[in-house]
Amino acid sequence: MPAPRLRTTPLPGVGVQYELTTRRHDTLSVIAHRDGTRTLNVHHDDDPDSAGLSMKLTPSEAMALTDALVPDHNSPNLLHTSDFGLIAERVTIVGTSYWNGRTLGDTRMRTRTGASIVAVMRRSHAVPSPGPDFRLRGGDTIIVIGTREGVDGAHDILDRA
């Protein structure tokens, strides 16, 4: 069987579309939008307007799908998994986030999820063990550690727009 071919098509003003045709001649396409979202489409024939499935994914949902499809890849969000059931992940605060300008204590992260924020990466430096008065900014990368459920809860909280 020949190697699958991935076609790339620039979409001016939108982003880039990636298309993979399967051995059954179905086409899977992903549109990587400029805002970081992804649209996943499945076409069952040669007509790109006849999507049998179309789903818009947030950046964190797209990363979660990547983790599911290729669990051993080097995910920029997954930092470490231990034998104790704890993981650490990165969550980025976007400029339009509800949390932009609010304090870490306002999130009530540990109380609500059991997960801990162990550091914040801001531009070219790290802020280890930020306190509850630490003010979040768009562009901050938050390092969260906890159980899978706790870290997922942290994503839910920090992804609030």
Considering the domain 78-158, what is its CATH architecture? 2-Layer Sandwich (3.30)
For the chain, give every domain's residue range: 6-57, 78-158
Per-residue pLDDT of the chain (161 residues; tens, 9 = 90+): 455 677 888 888 888 888 887 777 778 888 888 888 888 888 776 665 666 777 888 877 777 777 667 665 555 555 555 556 788 888 889 889 999 999 999 999 999 999 999 999 998 788 999 999 999 999 999 999 988 889 889 999 998 87
Note the pLDDT of residue 2.
54
Nearest to 102 by CA among 53, 58, 157, 152: 157
What are the DSSP calls for 65-109, one per residue? HHHHHSTTS--SSEEEE-TTS-EEEEEEPPTT-TTTTSBHHHHTH
Inter-residue contact 48 to 27 (CB < 8 Å): yes
Note the pLDDT of residue 160.
83
pTM greater than the 0.85 cutoff: no
Please, what's the b/e burial string for 9-27 (b: 16 or more CB within 10 A of its CB; e: otherwise)? Answer: eeeeeebebebebeeeeeb
Note the pLDDT of residue 1.
45
Give the dihedral sign, CA 152/41/68/76.
Answer: negative
CB atoms near residue 91 (< 10 Å): 18
Note the pLDDT of residue 75.
57
Inter-residue contact 10 to 16 (CB < 8 Å): yes
Note the pLDDT of residue 24.
74
